[in-house]
Structure 1
Amino acid sequence: MTTRPKTLTPEFLEGLVQRVPGGTGNTWKLTEVYTGDLLVELPQSSEADIEQAAAKAREAQAVWGSWPLKKRLDVMKRFHTLVIENQMLITDLIQAESGKNRRMAFEESCDVPMGTSHYIKRAPKVLKDRKHAGPVPVLSHSTEVRRPKGVVAIIAPWNFPFATGVSDTIPALIAGNGVVLKPDNKTALSPLLGIRLLEQAGMPEGLVQVVCGEGPDVGPTLLANADYVMFTGSTATGRIIGELAGQHLIDCCLELGGKNPMLVLDDANVDEAVHAALFGGFGNSGQICMHIERLYVHEKVYDEFRDKFVAATQAMKIGAEYGFGPDLGSLVSVDHKDRVASHVDDAVAKGATVLTGGKPRPDLGPAFYEPTILEGVTQDMLAGSMETFGPVVGLYKFSSDEEGIALANDTEYGLNASVWSTDAKRAQSVARRIESGNVNINDILATAYASKGTPSGGLKQSGVGARHGDQGLLKYTDAQNIAVLKKQVMEPQGKQTYDAYAKQTQTSLKLMRKLRLR
């Protein structure tokens, strides 16, 4: 029987949700995924609540944005310490609300201090004023000033509620913004704890507001009162968010769906690739935007890979535990479990073969589903073309690098890919031809995503913009151009005719190019 951690008392949980405005009078029954038992009643926010939240965040932002960057970063340093001190409590909370295994919940909790530490170090250089040459050498110059957007709307998904909800909030705050965060109803607790820790670290009260509700109820009002939106979720919803942002003439960053490929070349270390594929296909029970759903293996090593992969998958431990024992936890909800099952059932009905798995596990909990490997998946199957977002992997053969690359690119998505080879130069060549925002060589996803200094985003239908890197901070700012002209020389001087001035300008342009002044 699953025993809930003693840290998650009713008083603690009620204290977290008290900050959520509930003007609708309705609540969402937020449950412990392993058991289906009620954790807490989550208030649902009204349009008026959202408008008021944005107004409060905007008022607090006027103060926060006026603080020197160093003062804001001092808050982030204290926050970094608090997250690490409370990491096991955060892990407990993530597990209870999402149902993921403890290793995955702990690793999710690591993302926030990693990202925070990166921007603590990088922000002074990225956000500092930059002086540029003006149109007239010596007599003019221009300064690029980075100003906060104002109020940033962050819409976080249920699969990594703490990592996305809080990690996206941190650079927005460092840039000087206020934030209105909308977590998913199913997983609102860990982001709420993150905001509490930010306030304990010295962030002004009211700077980050949290509103809750279903997307169609909350989204339009949220975007109408924001100056920027960061959204992580499905491509279908991303299109709606992008359209709304356009209507309000605000910018957006969208990390959307994926149908991510893994290519195992003929010279790959098969044992290492098999081990990695377990996490690639089944990490977080397949509920990772960057996880692998299409696994292409060269025909020379296909049989060896398949047999070892099936055996390793069958040996995985699935369970509802708050310890580090299980390799797999639950799916996030019964509804999502049913969706995953429908993809597998559709594939089988249309001729695919289940090599292992393919069944729900109600004996373990209401939303558990076995890790599943399919052969013979085709594009006319749901599992062949749509994002399944569960512990389901399709195995495919290919006979050449050219064919493997073509198969990897045969999708509307382009979020993540994985290439396996013992020849680094060959792997790099293949990686550069894959239409994906992230490509990992001899790894699944962690190397790319954890490289906080490099932008991470999607191509094609997998998104717009990126998180991480300098771009992940600068996107939360507007560039202001302050230009200075020391002497009025950008027009004819004295009695000089414009004809003479034009000839002088042409000569000056040629000379500046020759001297590389411009």
Structure 2
Amino acid sequence: MNASTGSVFDETRFSADRLGSLGGATGSTDERLRVRTPITDEEIGTVASFQPDDVERAVERVRERQPAWEAMGIQTRAEIVDRFGDLVSNRRAQLLDLVQLETGKTRQHALEEVLDIVLTASYYGAAGPKLFGDERRRGAIPGASDAVVTYDPVGVVGVIAPWNYPLTLSMTDAIPALLAGNAVVCKPDERTPYTALAVASLLEEAGVPDGLVRVVTGDGSTVGPSLIDAVDYVAFTGGTETGRTVAERAGRNLIGCSLELGGKNPLLVLDDADVEVAARGAVKGAFTNAGQLCLAPERVYVHEDRYEAFLDAFVGETRALTLGCSFEYGPDVGSLIDGAHAERVGTSVDEARDSGASVLTGGRRRRDVGPFVYEPTIVTDVDADCPLASEETFGPVVSVSPVSSVDEAVDRANDSAYGLNASVWTGNVERGREIARQIDCGTVCINDPYTVGWAAVDAPMGGVGDSGLGRRHGPEGFDRFVESRTIATARYGPLEPPASLSNRTAARLLAVLTGVQRRIVRWRS
């Protein structure tokens, strides 16, 4: 794996004044949060360090502005959401710079974030009016009653976003929440606040009223609980253990929550797969964003008839990758987020090696490329009790194991507490779909590691088990942010038998009416 050179800093791109303009509102103290770039491990600026009272006031202020936003109507809100997507596309160069500066990812991987926001905004901008209208439902007694379901926004939605995809994951939940008529308060990770601040300013430029969206920056353990206590719904993306804490607090407050958490995602290479194609897909899946992707495959199971050929192709493709910290298109793999995470990834590989695993390529930290760069790493013969076998690594590390049958591959894929994403590689798509139904994951991709699932924004995405609760994308991703109301009408007064009937006769009449209604339901279905 070679290092790719390129310019790291360009003062016209990253002036102190430019970052300072994104610094956000001040909190109740003068304390500031220092932000560093993983590219050089240098400080790039400071942002406000919000305290609990600051968060509460921020929520109160956006709550005051929410009714006017709701009153603008779904069509107007949809037009603003669509316009926001256009602005993100038009400002992509600046956004790419900012995402790279905060995360250290390559420009190509940063581009995926920008394109994702454009796609999501376009989808909800077009689908919004269809998702929000009143719905007529079957009444208790046809002809004598009816029922209509109406929808209202929940109020204020809190979005808690992680550092690995700071643009996508600060906005992919905020977009449908805003479309539904809610106000939004976003808590970005303390390592990546500037991206959230920048994109929030684009929302206002698109037409979202001033003050309806607020970014609260600061330490997660301070800001997070205060935000959950103040909002009406929380959308969280992050680690599983933190997700449990979020769900517990939301439950105590009797508010809804959606949680997209970790994964130990399996990739299955069947006996009829094209190993060259599967190897390219495994490289893309495992090493995009230096493996810091919740959807990335970390466990590869290959049919024994394809095992050696796949390994040769996979190792060859991986060794050809270039490493680099550049703001130009070029390097294939960028940096990990910080030193602590680089140490965790390295320790995971070292423990596997010490327990008998073979490192076929990679396995080294590359300080010559960047302070937190780690080589894309392929490991075999991993002991089942080794943490690398079952715990999320969240880095450019993947294990490969042979299996003797499809049943064994499925069993091993399902032998995990996680269930976020999986992929199946086969020459027979129908066979792949049949196998996909047997895998305990919220999303299963055929002949692609994750992109076709994530980019299908009309389809729900989320996990099962320790990978989370709820779904984003599609109508399901919108429905999280509304409360339904049923308005039922009796056309001729209360639904009760005439007072002139005896109780016995009334009971017989109700039984007859129930039978008629059942036949009507069956006929209509």
Q: Corresponding residue for 1:251?
A: 256
Alpha-carbon offset, residue 494 of structure 1:
4.3
CA distance in structure 2 between the aligned counterparts of 1:225 and 1:126, rounded to whole angstroms:
27
Alpha-carbon offset, residue 427 of structure 1:
1.0
Q: Corresponding residue for 1:295?
A: 300
Does residue 341 (structure 1) correspond to residue 346 (structure 2)? The answer is yes
CA distance in structure 2 between the aligned counterparts of 1:351 and 1:3, rounded to whole angstroms:
39
Higher mean alpha-carbon deviation, 170-179 vs 129-138, is at 129-138
Higher mean alpha-carbon deviation, 389-398 vs 478-487, is at 478-487
Q: Corresponding residue for 1:9?
A: 15
Q: 1:80-95 maps to which residues of 2 (within 5 A)? A: 80-95=85-100
Does residue 330 (structure 1) correspond to residue 335 (structure 2)? The answer is yes
Give the alignment partner of residue 238 of structure 2, picking from 225, 233, 248.
233
CA distance in structure 2 between the aligned counterparts of 1:479 and 1:489, rounded to whole angstroms:
24
Letter in 1 for 2:366: R
Letter in 2 for 1:369: Y
Q: Secondary structure at the match of 1:249?
A: coil
Does residue 439 (structure 1) correspond to residue 439 (structure 2)? The answer is no
CA contact (8 A) 1:88 1:106 kept: no
C-alpha distance after superposition, 1:157-204 (max 9, x if no partner)? 100010010121110000000111000011111111111001011111
Q: Corresponding residue for 2:3?
A: none
CA contact (8 A) 2:19 2:194 kept: yes
Q: Corresponding residue for 1:407?
A: 412
CA contact (8 A) 1:76 1:120 kept: yes
Letter in 1 for 2:361: T
Q: Secondary structure at the match of 1:89?
A: helix
CA distance in structure 2 between the aligned counterparts of 1:260 and 1:24, rounded to whole angstroms:
43
Q: Secondary structure at the match of 1:362?
A: coil
Letter in 2 for 1:245: A
Q: Secondary structure at the match of 1:482?
A: strand
Shift of the 502–196 alpha-carbon distance from structure 1 to 2, 3 Å rule, reads same
Does residue 123 (structure 1) correspond to residue 128 (structure 2)? The answer is yes
Does residue 71 (structure 1) correspond to residue 101 (structure 2)? The answer is no
Alpha-carbon offset, residue 28 of structure 1:
2.1
Q: Corresponding residue for 1:177?
A: 182
Alpha-carbon offset, residue 23 of structure 1:
2.4
CA distance in structure 2 between the aligned counterparts of 1:166 and 1:492, rounded to whole angstroms:
54
Does residue 502 (structure 1) correspond to residue 496 (structure 2)? The answer is no
Alpha-carbon offset, residue 497 of structure 1:
2.6
Does residue 204 (structure 1) correspond to residue 244 (structure 2)? The answer is no
Q: Corresponding residue for 2:148?
A: 143
CA distance in structure 2 between the aligned counterparts of 1:259 and 1:322, rounded to whole angstroms:
30
What is the root-mean-square deviation of aligned Cα atoms in Å? 1.2
Alpha-carbon offset, residue 489 of structure 1:
4.8
CA distance in structure 2 between the aligned counterparts of 1:131 and 1:307, rounded to whole angstroms:
59
C-alpha distance after superposition, 1:418-464 (max 9, x if no partner)? 10000112211111101100100000000001000110010111000
- In structure 2, the gaps of 5 or more residues are 1-5
How many equivalent pairs are there?
517
Letter in 2 for 1:18: G
CA contact (8 A) 1:2 1:34 kept: no
Give the alignment partner of residue 64 of structure 2, picking from 49, 59, 63.
59
C-alpha distance after superposition, 1:325-364 (max 9, x if no partner)? 0000000111111110110111111111111111101111
CA distance in structure 2 between the aligned counterparts of 1:7 and 1:193, rounded to whole angstroms:
14
CA contact (8 A) 2:141 2:517 kept: no
CA distance in structure 1 between the aligned counterparts of 2:519 and 2:436, rounded to whole angstroms:
40
Does residue 160 (structure 1) correspond to residue 165 (structure 2)? The answer is yes
CA distance in structure 2 between the aligned counterparts of 1:39 and 1:498, rounded to whole angstroms:
80
Does residue 426 (structure 1) correspond to residue 431 (structure 2)? The answer is yes
Alpha-carbon offset, residue 12 of structure 1:
1.4
Shift of the 26–379 alpha-carbon distance from structure 1 to 2, 3 Å rule, reads farther
Between the two proteins, what is the percent identity of the paired residues?
41
Q: Secondary structure at the match of 1:65?
A: helix
CA distance in structure 2 between the aligned counterparts of 1:352 and 1:488, rounded to whole angstroms:
76
- In structure 1, the gaps of 5 or more residues are none
Does residue 386 (structure 1) correspond to residue 394 (structure 2)? The answer is no
Letter in 2 for 1:17: G
Alpha-carbon offset, residue 38 of structure 1:
1.6
C-alpha distance after superposition, 1:12-44 (max 9, x if no partner)? 11111133x332432222122211122111211
Does residue 186 (structure 1) correspond to residue 191 (structure 2)? The answer is yes
Alpha-carbon offset, residue 503 of structure 1:
1.3
Q: Corresponding residue for 2:371?
A: 366
